[in-house]
Amino acid sequence: MNLLAPIATSTIATVAAVLAGLLVIAYILKMRRRHFEVPFSTLWQRVLKEKEATSLWRHLKRLLSLLLLVAIVGLLLVAALEPEFGGAREESRAVVIIVDASASMKTIDEGDEGKDSRLDAAIEQVGLLLDGMSAGDAIMIMRMDGRATPLSRFHGDLAKHRKALSTIKASDTPASLTTSLGAAADALRWRKNPLIILVGDGAYPEDALASATWNGSEETPSSEGTPSFVHKELATVDLEGIDVRYQPVGQATDNVGIISFNVRRYISNKLNYEVFIEIQNFSKEPVTRRLVLFSGDSEINVKELQLAPGQKITKIYPDLGGGDDSVLRAQIETIDDGASDAFALDDEAWALMPENKRQTVLLVSEDNLYMEGALLIFEHLDVDKLTPAEYETALTSGELPTYDAAIYHGYAPENVVPAPTHLLYFKPFGPHSPFPIHGTLERGRITQVSQTHPVTRWLEMDDVNFDVLDTFSVDTSAAEVALFKSIRSPVAAAKKEGRRKVAAFGFGLQGTDIMLRVAFPLLMVNTLDWFAGADSDLITTYTTGRPARVPLDGTYGISEVAVTTPSGAQQKAPLREGYATFFAAEVGVHKLVAMQGGEEVAEIQVAANLSNAFESDIEPSAELLLAGQKLERPVPGTATPRQSLWIYLCLMVLLLLLVEWYTFNRRITV
C-alpha cells in the first residue's frame, strides 16, 4: 500500500491535532447526561450499592465509545493521505508533467487539417503518458506559458488529471521554461524517483535552455585552493537527481511573423509619425507577404514584401500622417487568398501613439514677440493673446473660453483660469506666484537641470545667460519638483494639482538670451507636451509574458487600477508610486483605468504584442539540449492496476458511524 500523501505531513499533523481536540470536546459534550426525574431515588441508591462491583464494564463502555470515535477520525485522516493498493513504494515515482501552453502551441500544423492545434496534440500525448503511469506514481500537471501554473497536486487520480488537462488553453505569451523547470524542481524536492516530462514544441530561447544545472551546488575553491564556500548560481535551476524527459509535439510548418512593431510622433510635427516594424520569415522557402498598416480600421499603408528563407526585414515608415485613431495595427497577409498562416498570432501587432490633439493656448502678456513667435511655429496650437488688463476683464465677465493651457508672462493673477486648464508662468511675482519666491540671483546661471522630468528632458542650459533669476521655495513633500537649479536654489519648478499641471520659471524673456538658444523651443514643446500628456518617452507597447510597468499621471494615493484586456476580461493591477504593474497575457490593446472615489482619475491604453522571435519560430525541435544534456523521450511505464482505498475507508467510517449510532441507541456505548 502506498500513501500518496498529497497533503504535507505537517498539515496532516496539524489537522490531526485539531481533530483530536475537537474529538475530545465532542466526547466531553457527549458525556453530558440526560436528566430523569424519579419519585424515590432511595430505591435506586440501594440498587447501586449492590451494583458498584460491576462498574468496570461501565468504564469499558466509555472507553469503547471513545475508541470508536478515535477509529472514525483515524480512518478519515488515513483516507486524506490517499492510500493506494497496487505498486511497490520503492518503485513509485513523483512526476511533474509540464504542458507547454505558450503562444507557439496555437500553431495549427499542416497535417492536422486545420483542426487541432499543437496544444491539442500535446494534451493527447499527456493522455498517453498518463495511461502508462504505474500505480503508486504521484503526478502533478503543470501548465507552462509566461508563468508556471500547477493544475493539480501530486496524486494518482488519472480522471482528475484528465479533467485538469481539458482546461488547458494556449495563451499569447512566450514559454517561461526556466520558471516552469524551477517550479517543477521545487515541487519534486525531497521526493523519491523524481521525474519531469516536458511536452511541447521546443520553441524555447537558448538562454533558458542553458540556465539549468545537473550538478547542483558547485564548490568554488578559494585562493588557497581549499573550498571556502558553496557557490550556487541562484538564477539557474538545480536539476540534480531529477530525470528530465522531453516529448516533442508539432510538425515542420512555415511561418512569417512580426517580431517588432512600434510608432512615434515627430517632436516638431505632432501630426505625423513614423513606424518601425520587423518581420521575419521562419520558413525554409522564400515567401511573399502583404504588410498592411491600419490606423483604427482605416488602411494607411500597404506594401508587398519578398522574404528569403530566414530573412528578417526591418522597415521604417517615415512621415505617416493618415488616420485619426491613436491605435496602429500592422497585419501581414498571404498574397494567395487560399493560403493560410499556421501561426496567426504573430501576424498582427499593435502600437499606440499619443493622441493627435490640437491644443488651445491662452497667452497673457504685454506684447511679447519672442513668446508669440515661439508659439506660432507649432502647427497643432491655437493661440489667443490677452494683455493682463483684458484678461482680468474677460475673466470677471465670464467671457473667457476654455483653454487647454494658459501662459502668464511676468504676471501672476489672483484669479487663474479654472481647472483643468494647465498653467505656465514666466517670472511670476507677488503673493499669487504658484511657488513662493524665496529671493533673487543677479546674473545667475543654471547649474543643474532635472533630467528625469518631461519638461526639462534633452535641455542644455549651461550657455544661457540671465540678468536676474528669481528663486522659488519648493516643497518636495507635496510632490513639487525643482526643474532648474542655480547652485542649490530652484529657479524653475513644476507640480500637479489634481488633474491640473503647473510649471513656473523664475525668469522672463526680457534680460536673457534663452530665446536665441535651441533650448527655448524645446522647453516650450516639452512643457506643452507634458500638459497634453504626450510624453514622447512614454512606452505604450509591451511584449506579452512579462510584467509591464506603466506610468499613470495623477494617481497619488491610489493602490490599484482596473485593467480591461483585449478579450474584455477585467482584472486588477497594483499601482505604486504612479506606476501600474500588470502581466500582459493577451495580444492586443489593454486599457488601464485608475479610479478614486468613484471617479476616473487617469486612463491609459497600452499595446501588448508577442514580439518574440523564439516563439514565432514554430519549427518544432525533435531534440532538446538542456544545460548541454540531450533530453531523452519518456519511457512508457508499466501500467499496473491501481486501487484507491479512500472510498473504502470512508465506507468503513460510515459503517462505524452506524455501529456507533446503533450501540448508542441500545445504550451499549455512551
Partner 1 sequence: MAARAKKAAKIEDDRSSLFDEEFLKKLEYLHMVSRKTFVGQNRADRRMRKIGSGIEFADHRKYSTGDDFRYIDWNVYGRIDKLLLRLFEEEEDLHIYILMDASKSMLIGNPLKLHYAMQMAAALTYVGLANLDRVGIVPFSENLHPHLPVARGKGRIFKVFDFLRGIEAGGPTKLEVATQSFIHRYKRKGLVIVISDFYDPSGFEEGINSLRYNGFEPFVLQIYDEKEVNPSFHGDLTLVDCETGAAKEITVSKSLIEAYKREHEKYCAELSDFCSSKNIPYFRTHTKIAFDELVLTIFRQGGFLK
The pattern of x and - marking residues 607 through 646 that bind partner 1 according to CB under 8 A reads: ----------------------------------------
Looking at 8, 29, 40, 442, which residue binds partner 1 (CB under 8 A)?
A: 40
Do residues 434 and 408 touch, judged by C-beta distance below 8 A? no
438 binds partner 1 (CB under 8 A): no
Q: What's the closest the beta carbon of residue 66 comes to partner 1, in angstroms?
A: 13
Q: Which residue has the cell 503562444?
A: 103
Looking at 13, 43, 308, 569, which residue binds partner 1 (CB under 8 A)?
A: 43
Helices (H), 312-471: 369-376, 388-397
- Judged by CB under 8 A, the stretch of 27-35, 224-232, 463-471, 569-577 that binds partner 1 is 27-35
Looking at 28, 29, 45, 414, which residue binds partner 1 (CB under 8 A)?
A: 45
Q: Minimal CA–CA distance to 255: which of 339, 335, 341, 314?
A: 341
The CA-atom distances, in angstroms, between 155 and each of 84, 135, 150, 225, 290 are 10, 10, 12, 47, 51
Give me the helix-helix angle, 646-665 and 55-80, nearest 10°: 160
- Judged by CB under 8 A, the stretch of 49-57, 152-160, 284-292, 593-601 that binds partner 1 is 49-57
Nearer to partner 1, 59 or 488 (CB): 59
Looking at 1, 17, 26, 48, which residue binds partner 1 (CB under 8 A)?
A: 48
Nearer to partner 1, 57 or 229 (CB): 57
Q: Minimal CA–CA distance to 343: which of 548, 201, 166?
A: 201
Nearer to partner 1, 33 or 115 (CB): 33
**How far apart are alpha carbons 515 and 505 in whole angstroms?**
14
Annotate 191-216 with b (16+ C-beta within 10 A) or e (fewer).
Answer: bebbbbbbbbbbbbbeebbebbbeee
- Judged by CB under 8 A, the stretch of 46-54, 81-89, 307-315, 597-605 that binds partner 1 is 46-54
Nearer to partner 1, 556 or 661 (CB): 661
Looking at 28, 36, 234, 397, which residue binds partner 1 (CB under 8 A)?
A: 36
41 binds partner 1 (CB under 8 A): yes
29 binds partner 1 (CB under 8 A): no
Site for partner 1 in 50-89 (CB under 8 A): 50-51, 54, 58, 61
Looking at 8, 28, 34, 398, which residue binds partner 1 (CB under 8 A)?
A: 34
| Cβ-based neighbour number of residue 430 at 10 Å | 10
Nearer to partner 1, 34 or 630 (CB): 34
Per the structure block, which three cell numbers stand in for 269? 510635427
Q: What's the closest the beta carbon of residue 169 comes to partner 1, in angstroms?
A: 57
**How far apart are alpha carbons 579 and 551 in whole angstroms?**
4
Do residues 626 and 598 touch, judged by C-beta distance below 8 A? no
35 binds partner 1 (CB under 8 A): yes
The pattern of x and - marking residues 645 through 664 that bind partner 1 according to CB under 8 A reads: -------------------x
Q: What's the closest the beta carbon of residue 35 comes to partner 1, in angstroms?
A: 5
**How far apart are alpha carbons 564 and 570 in whole angstroms?**
5
Three-class SS of residue 448? strand
Q: What's the closest the beta carbon of residue 194 comes to partner 1, in angstroms?
A: 54
Per the structure block, which three cell numbers stand in for 466? 540671465
The CA-atom distances, in angstroms, between 74 and each of 102, 202, 631, 650 are 44, 47, 44, 11
42 binds partner 1 (CB under 8 A): yes
Going across the sheet that includes 2-3, the strands are 2-3, 83-85, 643-644
Q: How many residues bind partner 1 (CB under 8 A)?
A: 26
Q: Which residues bind partner 1 (CB under 8 A)?
A: 31, 33-48, 50-51, 54, 58, 61, 664, 666-667, 670
